[in-house]
Structure 1
């Protein structure tokens, strides 16, 4: 433990250091200039401070106020040493953060007892702080384990949809990263962006409930088939809200599954929502999903040129898509191209 002694009288410093030395296992630091002591405290954490009240230039009150203002010094015990027994002095010292007092001339037995008490208090506080840090680390580890399990569940659900859907796993990865870009550009909080990134891959999980002859049809769907296909948004929501427990990630994924085919002009499905009535995550996924679908080759279609897909997004901003989401996506164009290059599809013959 580190003991700091501040007194302008060198004789007092020698006596107090000698008495402190009777307490085993401690390092004693002495200063006869309060300014130098404060400078030392800026880079060190004493475990106990012995502070003289009557000092020139910077008195005990001023030192105590400045000491308590230093980062991390709020809980360090301070014993003020004074020849003054007036209650007003002690009241003021207590207001500034003093923990105990000694009166000159210092009694050896009282000195050692009060020192032991304050050092024991400091030790207990440090143990509690260490325990709190340990508990916080354990909570972070447990939370990380839960997040990893959730991501594993998402991956498995997404793989289920992938086996029924002609879209590739690379599409899911690209789309999730596009969503992340848009969320960051919109200034969403880090935890909201992480939630969006984790939940977006489940946007089309409802396609597991669509019959193969419709889902895998190589040509254009007729009106009846399209009506069935559009049910995948609600099916996905029903799947993701069917868990018998509350889960923020699955709730976000359910919201995305239900809303990512809505259009800001109200002409989308399944609820015909418009504008900001459409959840923001759904509006973000709509941009990312459509762009990647347009620019990806499939067995039944050729990929659009990037410029044509950009023009489509720009033309549909404010009608199909949220204009802010389109603007955010296009503002990150270089990163979009990097994502496309990183997560390429296998070659398709169109």
Structure 2
């Protein structure tokens, strides 16, 4: 390459870099770069504004201390070491404005970005304070009910149905959706255990039963979503869809303190948080892909989708069992785990029997 072309290439790179920097600087979302210990290396003006700190002081802060989070360093370590591809965390942060302290809710989506021979941890920060305030009462209600389950040692199927039915009562179109999803999940999980039991030592009859009961909690986060959105007969707008996507994060937050205390609640958190993830990584809320999506969520994702396809909704007619099979088969390796799709195709007649047994009109 001669000097002219070399200089021209450098000039073009500088122009592109300038454009990128302008986009970052003008973004309404906070954009931060941190090291593995959570020290802020750089950030844009939107982030400074969100946490009310001076741009001159921003690089002196540690994100964990700034957000009062003790586990941020451990979480970033899992990201840096490749144990997670994308990490989404929510933080309640006290921010002082005009001498008055106001609680804000920030959601940060971390990802590890390789540049040449180095990896950079980048965080996209969204201020979801207004959304969380609107959801505050319902989220508190969920937490209260879950706390009752823990404190009173009520750990049976009926108590789980009592909680999950809060969503169903607000959406009359779902009928016996919970019963069907539980039954589909049990059948499909049993089939998975019989075919792939050697893959995971957890695959036992009790594990399958925990998964079936936990599946009932898959949409518990929708308790915190507006009736206007849940019951809308038309296609959702992009902003409405963003709101409804919040149900996965809300459910995860509400259930997280019970992780490890009861198997079905720990699994319920996995399912409620990740059942909208897709095998190819294009789902939400975190963009997990492939086998990084928990097995329980991968199984319930297919079961929930099948039931949605064969059920009538305000915005669509019910598809036939045959059409639902075709759609799910087409989504193998895209939305769904190919192994789980194969098992579904093998036992699809069992799904039809369950659908007929728990018919909404019966």
Q: TM-score range by the shorter chain?
A: 0.5 to 0.7
Distance change >3 Å, CA 336–CA 214, structure 1 → 2:
same
**What residue is the counterpart of 1:160 in the other structure?**
166
Task: Show CA shifts across 1:123-182 (max 9, x none).
Answer: xxxxxxxxxxxxxxxxxxxxxxx9974323201111111112344341111111111111
The answer to whether the aligner puts 1:330 opposite 2:336 as a matched pair is no
The answer to whether the aligner puts 1:176 opposite 2:182 as a matched pair is yes
CA distance in structure 2 between the partners assigned to 1:240 and 1:276 by the alignment: 22
CA distance in structure 1 between the partners assigned to 2:287 and 2:346 by the alignment: 28
Q: CA deviation at 1:199?
A: 0.3
Task: Show CA shifts across 1:40-79 (max 9, x none).
Answer: xxxxxxxxxxxxxxxxxxxxxxxxxxxxxxxxxxxxxxxx
Task: Show CA shifts across 1:101-121 (max 9, x none).
Answer: xxxxxxxxxxxxxxxxxxxxx
CA distance in structure 1 between the partners assigned to 2:298 and 2:260 by the alignment: 26
Q: CA deviation at 1:255?
A: 0.6
2:243 equivalent among 228, 246, 250: 228
Do 1:165 and 1:207's aligned partners in 2 also have CA atoms closer than 8 Å?
A: no
Pairing 1:179-198 to 2, within 5 Å after superposition = 179-187=185-193, 188-198=203-213
**What residue is the counterpart of 2:19 in the other structure?**
none
CA distance in structure 1 between the partners assigned to 2:322 and 2:350 by the alignment: 15
The answer to whether the aligner puts 1:281 opposite 2:287 as a matched pair is no
TM-align CA RMSD: 2.0
CA distance in structure 1 between the partners assigned to 2:348 and 2:171 by the alignment: 28
**What residue is the counterpart of 1:240 in the other structure?**
255
Q: CA deviation at 1:307?
A: 1.3
CA distance in structure 2 between the partners assigned to 1:201 and 1:334 by the alignment: 22
TM-score of the aligned structures, taking structure 1 as reference length: 0.55
Q: Which has the higher strand share?
A: 2
Q: Per the alignment, in what secondary structure is the counterpart of residue 156 of structure 2?
A: helix
**What residue is the counterpart of 1:339 in the other structure?**
354
Q: CA deviation at 1:216?
A: 1.2
**What residue is the counterpart of 2:43 in the other structure?**
none
CA distance in structure 2 between the partners assigned to 1:331 and 1:341 by the alignment: 18
CA distance in structure 1 between the partners assigned to 2:166 and 2:178 by the alignment: 12
Considering only CA atoms, is the larger Rg found in Structure 1 or Structure 2?
Answer: 1
CA distance in structure 1 between the partners assigned to 2:248 and 2:358 by the alignment: 25
CA distance in structure 1 between the partners assigned to 2:313 and 2:217 by the alignment: 20
**What residue is the counterpart of 1:47 in the other structure?**
none
Do 1:178 and 1:329's aligned partners in 2 also have CA atoms closer than 8 Å?
A: no
Do 2:259 and 2:266's aligned partners in 1 also have CA atoms closer than 8 Å?
A: no
Q: CA deviation at 1:290?
A: 0.4
Q: CA deviation at 1:241?
A: 2.3
Pairing 1:96-107 to 2, within 5 Å after superposition = none
Equivalenced residues, count: 202
